[in-house]
Structure 1
Amino acid sequence: MYPWQDFAIQPDFSDKIALRTTQGDVLTWIELTTKINQTVAFLQKKGVNAESAVAFVGKNSEKILFLYLATIQLGAKVLGINPAFPQEKIAKLCEFYQIDFCFYDKDLLNLQEIGVFTQKADFFRPATMTLTSGSTGLPKAVVHNVQAHLDNAKGVCNLMKFDCNQSWLLSLPLYHVSGQGIVWRWLYCGAQLHFPEDDFYASLLKTTHVSLVPTQLQRLLDYLQENPSISFATRHILLGGAHIPTELTQKMVKYGIKTYSGYGMTEMASTVFAKQSDKKQGVGQPLLGREYCLVNDEIWLKGAGLAMGYWKDRQIVPLTNNQGWIQTKDKGIWQEGELVIIGRLDNMFISGGENIQPEEIEQVIIQHSSVNQVFVLPQKNKEFGQRPVALVDFNEPFSKSAVENLMFFLQDKLARFKQPIAYYPLPLMLEKGIKISRKQLANWLAKQDEIN
């Protein structure tokens, strides 16, 4: 049986709190399983069966979570789609991946009470399809089975001391692999899963564990500084999704909160490497069951969490090379006993014959105290072919003086050819989900060049 069904019949778990809703209400494992069974009946009534492909479009909600788990319980495949996508793109994704049923929040309002539904659990059957943040065209749909999600969860739970007595905030979207990673850690341990309430950071501080991107960690630090007498349960924060400033993680130490710097990918069901944050830039060692090697500076991965393949034309196509490894296109080096991520191989560009890795420049710029976030991109240049420019989000209004201060800071920290030749305010309106797309930023920059 699936984890939620198993916990519902175990005397030590059945009446324990499994879920805390956005309204602050609680569900036990028995009540949670009943809700999932209701959703199974709803899906069956709509015609969903074990051969179906089901999509959901919506932000995190209890009903979306029930739909996700109910689809898996039925033996069908489930795909999450970002609700911020235009309707045309959602339709195109559903057509391309031959989705049989697509559900929005409004479709899930009236679920009927039913008896307990039983289904033979198959942990190795294709269960989830997760869209990658593809740089061109439609994103790939990565297929995982339940066992891969649980294998990934086990390594993270071991590292972060997450067990049935702890709670994790569902702080990241369920259509993203990081959000799913939270769900499977909860299900692996039989712990509590909390949905954020109206005050995100207040509800965050009620949980023992949380996953954040660095900009959220900065906001949490601001929240704690603004509310110095607040009590909190949070003790462990997993970070990923962008470069993680060591200066920021060290500030959490005085609050008794441990932060963990992680590296993962959709094809591996979330986190692959992680360590307790320190003053070094690396992401530590591979977690339990993961394997890695470096080939011409490219990171190759396999082991716990590896996907079954990509979904295409109603079949699963391989994602590993003929040696069984997935080639990540991420550049890394092994330094001081840990993996250091340099950047994406496909982000590198050539300027006047010199190789430039944008992430290397970003890691230096982010060290400046006035910078919240930065992206470095290539801009066409007649003399050098391409030159680096920076799109910056300052923690003060974007201004000529803010840029000049940053340029002065970089003078002795970057080679001349790596120093950006122009600075633009980061267009935050392009943000979708938990990552800003470099492709969207490049398109925005190209338009600025046309204007100028």
Structure 2
Amino acid sequence: MSEFAAGPQAWVGAWSEKRASLTPDREGLVDATTGDRFTYAELDRRANRTARLLREHGVADGGRVAVVSRNRPAVVDCFFATGKTGGVLAPLSHRLAPPELSELLERVDPGLLVVETPFLADVREALDETDDLDTTLLAVEAAGSSEERGEISTYADALPEDASPVETAALSPEDPHLLLHTGGSTGTPKETVVTHHGIVWNSVNTITAWGLRDDDVTPMVFPMFHTGGWNVLTVPLWHMGGTVVVAREFDPGDLLRVIEDEGGSVLVAVPAVLRMMTDHDEWETTDLSTLRFAKSGGGPCRQSVMEAWWDRDVELSQGYGLTECGPNNFAMPEGWPRERADAVGVPAMHVDARVVEGGEEVQQGAVGELELRSPHAAAGYLDNPEETEATFGGGWVATGDLARVDEDGYFHIEGRKKHMFVSGGENVYPAEVEDAIAGHDAVSEVVVVPVPDERWGQVGKAVVELAPGAESLSLDDLRAFLDGRLARFKHPQHLAFVESMPTSGPDKIDREAVTERFGE
């Protein structure tokens, strides 16, 4: 590695400073909740004030600031400011229970903890369970009474008035900038160490693969405690000088209105959000003509949802990513055929991908574990050498997801490796079965889980959320529908219903909750 590549570089963390010098009057952030709008020059001044606050509390040169908040400008301030100071931002999910927050806080060990007022009670309870964590607690300037905040100072009151330029830390690209926790589907989430190097390379991969432009506008529907909140579109658009729209909460109607009012040009959301938008009363009347493309991520998107977007002349395709790598790893080739809509595309410019079994690549069309290699991969898990070695130790990132590659080089995700089950000696991949079941008019959402069977060892149980207007669905009707669509051994042998699917993270279906209730 050259001395330039390995040595300190002032630009590595100077995102807001660099963008403010290039496009000072262009809007980088819009707060849809309050109507406030911020140019890049204003964002940089806010970051300077926050950088001074962080240095007052020792959050520099590797020091950590944790944030428990919904999407709001103060969280953006902390991102830009930690870049300036050489600090590390650790956004934590406000959806976690106090014991989970307590464990993560002890792991992150922040010098400063910034909390939105609605979550102060849970954070206080979490802090009471830690072993003398030495941190300063500040309440974000959210709605809430002084009684709720108690003696805690507010972030706004604590900010220094001086917004003049600060000395930017000279950082190595390998220095960490974000600690992002995984979904936490089993046990307490792991903290993934994301370096400046990884953030920059994911941005480059996203811009080159998706064709992002400096005039792009996106409503950011992923929470900023999630890699989707930062690395799917937010940081790549700031890299280009585009505009990111945030809000405390987004419902489908609000999202449609933001696209129309702000001229949204790119949208990435989970399948559930995309489906709820198509079901909304304003779907047909909303002007979507500014949308250049939309992408679905976080799970398989049903064909019916994709067709609804295509019918509105919006190019919707599926993506694939994870906290540990990217997350933007694939892109659909130019002019891709609609019959490949179930694929996530081909590897992005600076991404290698392969499908393996026992460390060896499988033949074309065979299912195996997806492994990725890219300069945008994370550095590992915080203080977890065993898990780091298991996921990152072989020179490739082991995703834990099953995939196959078709004859045209498109990658297809077949579900999580741990969700696969064996029925009568045959592998069954729930994602494939769910996709077939979702084609039934009576089905809105479906999760297939394995249950014990005396004859076959394991068989599938389909857990179904009925579509609006559908009164019932029998197992016999469902199996008749699947005849000719799926091999008989893949057909579910049991059927159960839920009023609505449980969710986790950014509106993703919580498979573990479904399995715990209906599975083995």
What one-letter code is carried by the residue in structure 2 that aligns with 1:20?
V
Paired residue total: 445
Equivalent position amino acid for 1:115 in 2: A
Q: Larger deviation: 70-79 or 398-407?
A: 398-407
**Corresponding position: 1:240 with 2:293:** no
Q: 2:167 aligns with which of 101, 115, 118?
A: 118
Match of residue 25, structure 1, among 31, 36, 41? 36
Letter in 2 for 1:334: V
The match for 2:327 is: 270
- Which residue of structure 2 lines up, in the alignment, with residue 377 of structure 1? 449
Q: How does 1:11-410 map to 2 (within 5 A)?
A: 13-22=23-32, 23-106=34-117, 107-109=139-141, 110=156, 111-116=159-164, 117-122=166-171, 123-181=173-231, 182-196=233-247, 199-205=254-260, 206-223=263-280, 226-228=283-285, 230=287, 232-275=289-332, 278-280=338-340, 281-296=342-357, 297-312=368-383, 317-318=388-389, 323-337=394-408, 338-396=410-468, 399-401=471-473, 405-410=477-482
What is the deviation of 1:192?
A: 1.0
C-alpha separation in 1, matches of 2:204 and 2:281: 30
CA shift at 1:202, angstroms?
0.8
Percent of aligned pairs sharing the same letter: 24
Bigger Cα displacement from structure 2, 419-428 vs 146-155: 419-428
CA offsets per residue over residues 148-207 of structure 1, 9 Å max, x none? 112112222223321111112211111111111122112221111112486222113431
CA distance in 1, matches of 2:463, 2:239: 40
The residue type equivalent to 2:296 in the other structure is L
Hey, what does 2:15 align to over in structure 1? Answer: 3
| Worse overlay, 177-186 or 107-116 | 107-116
Query: How far off its partner does 1:33 sit?
Result: 0.8
- 1:251-275 Cα offsets, whole Å, 9 max, x none, are 3234332223211111112111121
CA pair 321-254 structure 1, distance change in 2 beyond 3 A: closer
1:310–1:319 Cα contact (<8 Å) kept: no
2:96 aligned partner, one-letter code: F
Structure 2 CA distance for partners of 1:316 and 1:49, relative to 1, 3 Å: farther
Return the alpha-carbon distance in structure 1 between the equivalents of residues 451 and 509 of structure 2: 18
Counterpart amino acid of 1:298? Answer: E
Deviation at 1:208, TM superposition (A): 0.7
TM, length-normalised to structure 1: 0.90
- Cα pair distance change 1:32/1:438, threshold 3 Å: same
CA contact (8 A) 2:178 2:193 kept: yes
Determine if contact 1:54/1:78 at 8 Å carries over to the other structure. Answer: yes
User: Helix, strand or coil: the match of 2:218?
Assistant: strand
Aligned letter for 2:28? A
Q: CA offsets, 1:1-42, max 9 Å, x none?
A: 3221111122xx011111111223211111011112222223
The answer to whether the 8 A contact 1:375-1:392 is kept is yes
Q: Which has the higher strand share?
A: 1
- Mean alpha-carbon deviation: is it higher for 58-67 or for 221-230? 221-230
Q: Secondary structure at the match of 1:387?
A: strand
Aligned counterparts of 1:367 and 1:316: Cα–Cα separation in 2: 38
Distance in 2 separating the partners of 1:429 and 1:333 = 28
1:36 alignment partner, SS class: helix
Give, in whole Å, the separation in 2 of the partners of 1:353 and 1:320.
Answer: 28
- 2:5 maps to what in 1? none
Three-state SS of the structure 2 residue aligned to 1:268 is coil
Q: Describe the SS at the equivalent of 1:202.
A: helix
SS of structure 2 residue aligned to 1:263: coil
Contact 2:442 2:473 survives alignment (8 Å): no
Return 43-52 or 31-40, whichever deviates more.
43-52
- Name the CA shift for 1:317/1:261 in 2 (closer, same or farther; >3 Å): closer
C-alpha displacement of 1:53 = 2.5
The 3 A distance-change label for structure 1 pair 402 and 15 is: farther
Once the two structures are superposed, residues 72-100 of structure 1 have per-residue CA deviations (whole angstroms, 9 ceiling, x without a partner) of 33212222221111112111221234344
CA separation of 1:66 and 1:322: change in aligned 2, threshold 3 A: closer
What is the deviation of 1:127?
0.9
Relative to the length of structure 2, the TM-score reads 0.79
Question: How far apart are the structure 2 equivalents of 1:67 and 1:316?
Answer: 28
Matched residue type, 1:120: A
Structure 1 CA distance for aligned equivalents of residues 65 and 387 of structure 2: 16
Over 3 Å counting, the alpha-carbon distance change for 1:401 and 1:425 in structure 2 is closer
Give how far 1:427 is off: 6.2
Other structure's SS at 1:63 match = helix
State the AA in 1 paired with 2:452. K
- CA change 1:370–1:159 in 2 (3 A) is farther
Amino acid aligned to 2:18? D
- C-alpha displacement at 1:402, in angstroms? 6.5
User: SS of the counterpart of 1:267?
Assistant: coil
CA contact (8 A) 2:501 2:510 kept: no
Task: Measure how far apart 1:286 and its partner are.
Answer: 0.4
